[in-house]
Amino acid sequence: MLLKLFKKNHPYVVFLIPIIGVVLWIPAFFANTNNIDLGTTTYIFNKLYNWININSVMPKVIALLLIIVESFILVRLNFKYIFIEKKTYLPSVMFLIFASAISAYQTLHPLLIGNLFLLLSLDKIFIIDKKRNALKRYFESGFFLGLGAIFYPNIYVFTIIIWLTLFILRTFNWREWFTSILGVIAPFFFYLVYLFLTDNLNNVINKLISIFFYKAKIAPISGYPFYAVVFLAITTFLILFKVLSFIRIKKINTRKYFSLFFWFLIYTIVLFSLHQSLGYELIVVIAIPLSIIYSMFLMEQRSKWIGEVLFSLILISIFIMIWG
């Protein structure tokens, strides 16, 4: 009865989440290589990676710790803003499962760091009621996203999520929109000043240009993992349809947050389909809306055996994708 266990809001679930992560990452720990091409990464990420790359295991350990931390941040956001009306650690579990689904990216990569800053950015903008210092919060939101862009430049495309949040959760205020843009630009400005003073500006700018025009290598999925992906895609479609049917009777705030995560998911899938520089690493971002939407459905599922079977099938599908 795994689902029943993880749906509870009990401290012992916190200790089970890292264990799930370790189990999901077993193949990565036994692999002798890392799949990150440092030729397509930023100057600052390369510096960080070379510092921690003591052996082939260390980047994977750091990466798993980052995913676990991000999963707990997502639960904290749920407790703080109440996306799901019942307090539960299930979003953390679902995020960990989905974010670990692509075995080739079970190591430290730039978007994994960028995703941490994206979550911190969301923490600043998930406000519905009018509060003081709103402009400060939106500047900080953009600033966190700008910090993420230093590690993963293409994360700038998620500035749209900040604007989407402003559109769905609050009434239009041009100052908030403009302030968020200033926040995104600010870290880059200071970063460029630092590069200029250290005589690295030209090299880094050339590197950034090559990253923006880089074409991601998207290998076709075949064999059993292909059927697992098809199952998850169909399941996601059915779950979206089901959640749409009962979300209407929920509180206004819950409906707004669901709408935000729904369009977050759609936007990210469209980006993956159309943006040539974005590859399978995008799974860690897609895992954010997926984990919330799946948790909404599983928490509302009245039939215990349907929920348990579905959760077990999701786990099996992810294991097939990792081990396949």
- Whole-Å CA distances, 288 to 250, 263, 268: 21, 12, 10
- Give the whole-angstrom CA distance, residue 190 versus residue 281: 27
Structure tokens of 61?
Answer: 């350990």
Helices (H), 25-133: 26-30, 43-52, 58-81, 90-99, 110-125
- Give the whole-angstrom CA distance, residue 254 versus residue 169: 11
User: Domain coordinates of the chain in residue numbers?
Assistant: 2-323
Q: Tell me the per-residue pLDDT of 135-164, one tens digit each, with 9 for 90 and over.
A: 888 899 999 999 999 999 999 999 999 889
Q: Tell me the per-residue pLDDT of 218-258, one tens digit each, with 9 for 90 and over.
A: 888 888 999 999 999 999 999 999 999 999 888 888 899 99
Residue type at position 47: K
Q: Tell me the per-residue pLDDT of 89-142, one tens digit each, with 9 for 90 and over.
A: 999 999 999 999 998 899 999 999 999 999 999 999 887 665 656 788 889 999
Q: Does residue 295 register a pLDDT over 90?
A: yes
Measure CA of the first residue to CA of the last residue in the chain; give whole Å. Answer: 25
pTM: 0.94
261 near 290, Cβ under 8 Å? no
